[in-house]
Amino acid sequence: MSACDMEELAASKNRFQRISKPLHELKPSYDVIVIGSGYGGGVAASRLSRAGKSVCMLERGKEILPGDYPATLPKALDQLQIDSVEGKVGSSTGLYNLHMGRDQFVMVGCGLGGTSLINANVSLEATEDVFQNDNWPEKFRDNSSTLLKEAYVRARDMLKPNVYPDSYPPLAKFDAHKKSAESMGQEENFKKTPINVTFETPASGVNHVGVPQVACNNCGDCCSGCNVGAKNTTLMNYLPDAFNHGTDIFCEIHVEYIEKTEGDKWLVHYTLAHTGQEKFKAPTMTITADIVMLAAGTIGSNEIMLRTKEKGLSTSDMVGRRFSGNGDILGFGYNCDDKINGIGYGIHDPKGLEPVGPCITSVIDMRHEPDNMVIEEGSVPGCIGKPFAGLMATANRLIGENTEGGLQDVAQKIFRQTFFRPPYQGAANHTQTYLIMSHDDGRGVLKLKNNRLDIDWPGVGKQENFYTGNENMKKCTAALKGNYVKNPMWTKIVGKDVISVHPLGGCCMATNATNGVVDHKGRVFSGKTGENVHKGLYICDGSIIPTSLAVNPLLTITACAERACVLLAEDYGLKIDYTLPSATKRPHYVPKVGIEFTETMRGEVSDVRSSSKLDIQFTLTVRSDDLDTMLNTPEHKAHMNGTVTCPVIDPQPLSVVNGEFQLFVQVPSPPNTRHMVYAMPMYTKSGKAYYLYGYKTVQDHPNLLRIWHDTSTLDVKIYEGDSTKGREAYKGTMHIRLTDFAKQMTTMRVLNAKNEKERLMALAKFGINFAGVLWNSYGGIFAPRDVYDPNLPPRKKRPLAKCVPVPELHYFNTKDQVTLRLTRYQSGKKGPVMLVHGLGVSSEIFSTDLVDVNMVEYLCANKYDVWLLDFRVSILLPAADQQSTGDQVAEYDYPAAVAKIREVTKAPSVQAVVHCWGAATFFMSLLRGLEGIRSVVASQVATHAVMKLVTNVKSGLRLPKLLSAVGFKYLTTYVDTNEGLAGRIVDKGLAVYAMAEAQGQCNSPVCHRITFNYASLYRHAQLDQRLHENLHELFAEANITAFEHLAMICRKGQLVSADGKDVYMPHIENLNLPIMFISGHQNECYLPESTKKTYDMLVNTFGQELYKRVELDNYGHIDCIFGTQAHKDVFPDIVKRLDETALVSTESG
């Protein structure tokens, strides 16, 4: 991205203000609660707040402002969450939410604005014949030409759709789609699509609801989230309008179900995202309202309604039924003769790139034709451009259909695919993306399984519309002389699975409960039959649409919600003021660095009128939205939300809303005493209020053993009413269990940190202030450690040196059918040289970006054709999950790898640089007759193993065999922030072991585990700090069988088979070739005598001419490979030796 664009992006971040509020401002009760913030939720909040109601909106995702949407692949992957009946992968607040059913997949958005954040924002009305379908209630059909038409007008007034302007640059994908329409005889049905995009910056700089917007820049990244602020999502119109009129908006709140109270109010049960409350199995929290507008999107609303029905609410048995994917069909015209420019810019500098345009700008509208569908072109977000190009190339090879078979055309396709770099050149840049909306049979079923939503729709992809749609997309592609690639999911192999981005139905409107879930007003039916409804419970999103629409549904969903609000207002005697423009005088929340943790305490309280003791327990999330203020003011205030379970007060949990926590408040007496204060209003389901006031007493005391007691004991009093002014009803004492405290420490989370440094600084500030001696001293196991946090975005990697070419991946199978991988960097014609890694690592030890110059970069700079082998123990391969011996590696892996390299390069022989277990097994292979090897550089070990005493003890005790016998299949070095208490205790013990092994003192459990599994593998002084902090990227699991074989070799002192037989050393005649041995002088794993023994044996047998040995001062074991100075101290010797036997490759081209 250019400097200019970076400045524009930074400016866009500063233009926009948040409309969501901090959690502590949530009230216990509102007139209206709106669940969800997409089109239906946005309409409901805007209109009902305009009608004068107090409105609260609950959104499960985050508020993401323009400028903060993912623009790179790692950031996009970090925002991906995948749901299935088996569980969830990814963050529960990830922007891109994929739901995996057995035949139907669904992609929706998760964030403030719902799916509007990531859709193409096409605003087309459904045709009149759709609304005359009998699936719609008669009362809806009767006024579709009046009330619904008025609702469509209101929707457009807010969403502001526009067609792509003639004054804007022409778009290649638009022109190509027009060409397709003409070829199909559909030129009259080809038109521009109205899209909710701003093409002219407002004169005042703000839009009709006071939000800054700018004109579209044609970047094409609409569906990964608009970072410009030109896309008219609900975050640009309905939601700020609701905020302007008083709606309180809260994010990262997950609604579980809805309950009706005895007083005809509604209780919304919810949990807080990422707080760790689920670790304590805490009850749900609740807030109440007179009216609930359920608008969590088709998937979300169905899940909530299914759970609500399961919890006992009387309603229709049609919940979850008549689900539709809107007949969505995806396909691609790959490698067309016409340039498409269909990949968004992402972070790339648009200079030199042609305009992509908004995601969808044109449609072939065939809804009045027998096929009854629309065909739209689209763009692919730039953040996934490269993987998209690779996926398309692979899919084309497997399922692509050539629509124009001439030899010249085929030659052009091969040329584009071979000689241009994707995604902005070549085949990918000539790929048209198609999306069809049609009519499916709407017979999908949504149900709960393991308390998770399951999409059940056997054979959905075998309906006629999917075949017709694919034929039409193939015709579109033929006009462009491309290869048609159907959705790879929609194949016989996969089972004709389909994906929808427009889920509809499941809570369908109908005339009665026998046929649907809501009536024409969106009111939920109160029984299994009949027309009676629950007063105050509405659904107003895509889930109520009773049929597929064969067009983008957003405008119809919005209009149906507008219609429902008009009817609700009539029923409640409300008046909605639709006046525009709107603005606000309300202050906007400005996030600051804060901190959050969740705590569970248990104990007993007694009624002050009697001596009987009763159980009490709470789970509270303590949250400070401004850490500096909390720590630096005398009150040290934070806020609390959660639940209290105390059956003597109420059989059901009480909800804590906006409680107050004070950290170490100085009290006047006794001297040197501080209190940790807990003060919180609690509400029963019926709305009755109680107030809990408690404190922990922390005093200066010479006995450090009191620290735990003081900080884990809470004296409490409970009052009737919402303050301490009420009658004191109960008092008692609560405690933290050690196991709960361990869980509590894992819930500690820094809020709103801009980067990792700021996060760690905030955590350190809080740790010092909160726990003092406890934090740094208690048991040692809770002290700060250098541990990988899997919840953080992937770190940004540096690009390899310019001399390193784009790698080629070569997968191949061994004779025993294990899939291995070779990665080729062809920088020159010297070699080819194969690099082989050790045990519990991968080939990335040679190519890691965590050193300034790695071995691949050094060899490429010296014009070598470099091949990295990942053999069966590589942590990058699925094969690493299997048990294996060195014998298998020697017999199968190296012969297959060498054969593959020779086949590709046409070289008669290969050079090899081999390390550790890779070296030992490679010499096994040489001794058993491996052919095609020209020379070898062996790092640390070859045919003999001389070990340190502690390693010999572990081998002599047969530790790997013992671990295998008790069920260990692998030894792993991996550890992250999710590690439990037991693991921390183990890591503390291993830290002591690592010190004894001269590893040097550090706080990395990964480092300590490496030492335990192998020995001290490196000198800390030789490692770059970046590498030490990211050892988890390079080391992981190693199978126990390999360790057993290694232990056998250690005990024998030389290469033997896994069962201890001397099958290798009798064949040393096979080592009569140039070999150089490298050993670190401080190698604590294989002592330097290991390579010296092999060197002496070969020199005594064959003479000195072929052999050389180097012993490196101040180096250990693997730091010879990735030490920070290895490119100066080690690699020159390796290259000098390789140059002596280098052979220019004979590979053509």
Instruction: Quick: pLDDT tens for 597-644.
Output: 999 999 999 998 887 788 999 999 999 999 999 888 888 899 999 999
Burial class of 1111 by CB neighbour count within 10 A (0 to 12, 13 to 18, 19+): middle
Helix (H) or strand (E) holding 745, with range, is: helix 738-746
- Average pLDDT of the residues in 895-904: 96
What pLDDT score was predicted for residue 1032? Answer: 76
Judged by DSSP in three states, 759 sits in helix
| 797 alpha-carbon distance from chain centroid | 18
**Euclidean distance between CA atoms 186 and 670, whole angstroms:** 88
Helix axes 554-572, 147-159, angle to 10 degrees: 120
What pLDDT score was predicted for residue 786? Answer: 43
**Euclidean distance between CA atoms 40 and 47, whole angstroms:** 11
Whether 968 has a pLDDT exceeding 70, the answer reads no
- Average pLDDT of the residues in 157-180: 97
Contact criterion met (CB below 8 Å) for 277 and 418: no
Nearest CA among 189, 129, 151, 141 for reference residue 548: 129
For the chain, give the longest Cα–Cα distance. Answer: 104
**Euclidean distance between CA atoms 708 and 773, whole angstroms:** 10
pLDDT tens by residue, 224-246 = 999 999 999 999 999 999 999 99
pLDDT tens by residue, 335-389 = 999 999 999 998 887 777 899 999 999 999 999 999 999 999 999 999 999 999 9
The residue assigned the tokens 């009850």 is: 283
**Euclidean distance between CA atoms 769 and 764, whole angstroms:** 9
**Euclidean distance between CA atoms 401 and 1139, whole angstroms:** 48
pLDDT tier, 6 (very low <50, low <70, confident <90, very high otherwise): very low
What pLDDT score was predicted for residue 317? Answer: 97
pLDDT tens by residue, 815-848 = 999 999 999 999 999 989 999 999 888 999 999 9
What pLDDT score was predicted for residue 279? Answer: 84
**Which percentage of the chain shows pLDDT scores above 90?**
68
Whether 919 has a pLDDT exceeding 60, the answer reads yes
Whether 977 has a pLDDT exceeding 80, the answer reads no
Burial state string for 254-274 with b = 16 or more CB within 10 A and e = fewer than 16:
bbbbbbbeeeebbbbbbbbbb
Nearest CA among 113, 115, 73 for reference residue 501: 115
Question: Token pair for residue 586?
Answer: 């309300």
pLDDT tier, 1086 (very low <50, low <70, confident <90, very high otherwise): confident
Least confident of 345-349, 481-485, 913-917, 1078-1082: 345-349
Whether 736 has a pLDDT exceeding 90, the answer reads yes
Whether 986 has a pLDDT exceeding 50, the answer reads no
Whether 669 has a pLDDT exceeding 60, the answer reads no
Strands (E), 713-818: 713-720, 728-735, 749-751, 808-813
| 392 alpha-carbon distance from chain centroid | 23
- Average pLDDT of the residues in 657-663: 91
Count, in order, helices (H) and strands (E) of the chain. Answer: 34, 43
**Euclidean distance between CA atoms 338 and 427, whole angstroms:** 10
- Measured CA angle at 889 (ends 884, 895), to 5 deg: 150
* Mean pLDDT, all residues of the chain: 87
**Euclidean distance between CA atoms 905 and 828, whole angstroms:** 12
Question: Hey, how many other C-beta atoms are within 10 angstroms of the C-beta on 398?
Answer: 11
**Euclidean distance between CA atoms 235 and 220, whole angstroms:** 19
pLDDT tier, 772 (very low <50, low <70, confident <90, very high otherwise): very low
pTM above 0.75? no
- Average pLDDT of the residues in 719-735: 94
The residue assigned the tokens 């922990």 is: 696
- Average pLDDT of the residues in 129-136: 92
**Euclidean distance between CA atoms 138 and 939, whole angstroms:** 81
Question: Token pair for residue 130?
Answer: 């759709």
Contacts of 817 (CB under 8 A, 6+ apart): none
* The amino acid at 44: A
What pLDDT score was predicted for residue 563? Answer: 97
